[in-house]
Amino acid sequence: MNDVILRELKTVVERAVRPVRATMTRKRRMREELLAHLTAVFEEEAERLGNEQAALEQAKQRFGDPGELTTQLQQAVPRLCRCRSILENMGYRPSEPAWHLAVRHFLVMLLIYSLWLPMMLAFENNWEIPGPVEAQRIIALVLVGAVLLVALFNVILSVVLAPLLNKIGPVLASKRRGRISLVVLCGLAVLCGLLPHFTGVGAAVLFILMARQAVKQWHYQADWA
Amino acid sequence: MKAIRGDKLRGHLETMVLAALQRGEAHGLEILRRLDAVGCGLLRLKEGSLYPALYRLEAAGKVEADWEDQPHGRRGARRRIYRLTSKGKRELAKGRAEWASFVRIIGAVVGAQA
């Protein structure tokens, strides 16, 4: 089987799997398994027909319509996995500019604090419904104070960490990974941890999560993109 | 004899897969070969459709799977080897009983006993 045929087979698989809403790990599993099947079918047909082009067409026909398969694969994805894929999509994507990640983090923080802070204030108020002045105070506090500060913290981290990951990401995803990636990751996590108070811990956790996501993305890009 | 196509098989695919796996663990293509052999080449199933059924069965704990150690073929990706769980065996027995009852009832209705 030559590279052109392999690319054709991968394209068929990719057409079926890419639109499925599932986590990257699950989709990677689907891709690998479907490609293994399609490759085996192609080899079987090539041996029978003695012609690679005809074998490719036959393999595609046996495999079925990728669009139809997407629907069936989607139905087989558990609901929890679909929710996790939404969270994953909020995370780091190597192909995008850092400011995209920063804006996304800003919006997520805005949402979280808009829900959390009023709850905290209501708890302090013994769950009494606040009057109009009190309500204004809460809204002002949420929108101007905590949200902007925490979101700013995340924006800065995204802008700093994303380019950093773009540099070390290919090493993390390469075959030379293992010791190198572990050392790099630990070193950067420790550096982040040296930042004062919770900022450092937050940065370290965020960095590790982003690195994990980046490795999955780079694996995908190396094999399929 | 006329071939039986995918739309007629859809509701029964999972039980058929469980029955194929009762003969021992197998990867996707081997499962299809077993189905094809038993169906005398008359089952016309789009092969990709097997995998969503396997994923559903796995999520329901009726089958379990492991990646094979070596990639398949010269350039191929790894395959997953599926096997029946005890829950799958119970489900297969239930599926067989339901099928027998279905055939008996519908056979009587249309006047064509199996």
Does residue B69 register a pLDDT over 60?
A: yes
Measure the CA–CA gap between A193 and A171, rounded to whole angstroms.
22
Does residue A176 register a pLDDT over 60?
A: no
Q: Where are the domains of chain B?
A: 4-110
Residue A34 CA: distances (Å) to CA of A41, B10, B68: 11, 19, 14
Mean pLDDT calculated for residue range A143-153:
66
Measure the CA–CA gap between A31 and A37, rounded to whole angstroms.
10
pLDDT: which is higher, A16 or B1: A16
Residues A29 and A114 in one domain: no
Mean pLDDT calculated for residue range A37-65:
91
Residues A82 and A126 in one domain: no
Single-letter amino acid code for the residue at B107: G
- Tokens found for residue A224: 């399929």
Residues A119 and A164 in one domain: yes
| Nearest in space to A22 (alpha carbons), one of A63, A67, A66, A82 | A82
Residues A82 and A95 in one domain: no
Global ipTM: 0.85
Q: What is the pLDDT confidence band of residue B91, given thresholds at 50, 70 and 90?
A: very high
pLDDT value of residue A178: 54
Which one of A4, A39, A61 makes the best mutation probe of the B interface by having the most chain B beta carbons within 10 Å? Answer: A39
Residues A107 and A218 in one domain: yes
Q: pTM value?
A: 0.73
Residues A29 and A46 in one domain: yes
Residues A75 and A12 in one domain: yes
Q: What is the pLDDT confidence band of residue A43, given thresholds at 50, 70 and 90?
A: very high
Stretch (H or E) spanning A180: helix A179-193
pLDDT value of residue B61: 94
- Choose one of A25, A53, A86: the last residue of a domain: A86
* Tens-digit pLDDT profile for residues B19-44: 999 999 999 999 999 998 887 666 77
Residues A125 and A218 in one domain: yes
- Tokens found for residue A161: 């960490």
CATH class label, B4-110: mainly alpha
pLDDT value of residue B70: 73
CA dihedral over A82, A221, A104, A115, signed as positive or negative: positive
How many beta-carbon contacts under 8 Å exist across A and B?
83
Stretch (H or E) spanning A109: helix A98-124
A73: number of Cβ within 10 Å = 25
Q: What's the domain count of chain A?
A: 2
- What does DSSP say about strands B80-84 and B63-67: parallel, antiparallel, or unpaired? antiparallel
Q: Is A57 within 8 Å of chain B by CB?
A: no
Q: What is the pLDDT confidence band of residue A147, given thresholds at 50, 70 and 90?
A: low
pLDDT value of residue A34: 94
Residue B23 CA: distances (Å) to CA of A139, B26, B29, B30, B37: 65, 9, 14, 11, 13
Mean pLDDT calculated for residue range A165-182:
61
Domain that holds residue A138: 91-223
Exposure string of B73-83, with b = 16+ CB inside 10 Å and e = fewer, is eeebbbbbbbe
- Tokens found for residue A221: 């890009």
A82: number of Cβ within 10 Å = 15
- Choose one of A53, A70, A86: the last residue of a domain: A86
Q: What is the pLDDT confidence band of residue A110, given thresholds at 50, 70 and 90?
A: confident
Measure the CA–CA gap between A116 and A127, rounded to whole angstroms.
14
Residues A17 and A102 in one domain: no
pLDDT value of residue A168: 65
- Choose one of A22, A53, A86: the last residue of a domain: A86
Residues A7 and A98 in one domain: no
Inspect the interface and report whether the beta carbons of B51 and A37 lie closer than 8 Å. Answer: yes
Residues A71 and A146 in one domain: no
pLDDT value of residue A20: 93
pLDDT over 70, % of chain A: 55
pLDDT value of residue B77: 77
Residues A68 and A101 in one domain: no
B→A contacts (Cβ < 8 Å), by residue, are 6, 27-29, 46-49, 51-53, 55-56, 59, 71-80
pLDDT: which is higher, B95 or B114: B95
Name the average pLDDT for chain A.
Answer: 76
CA dihedral over A13, A37, B89, B58, signed as positive or negative: negative
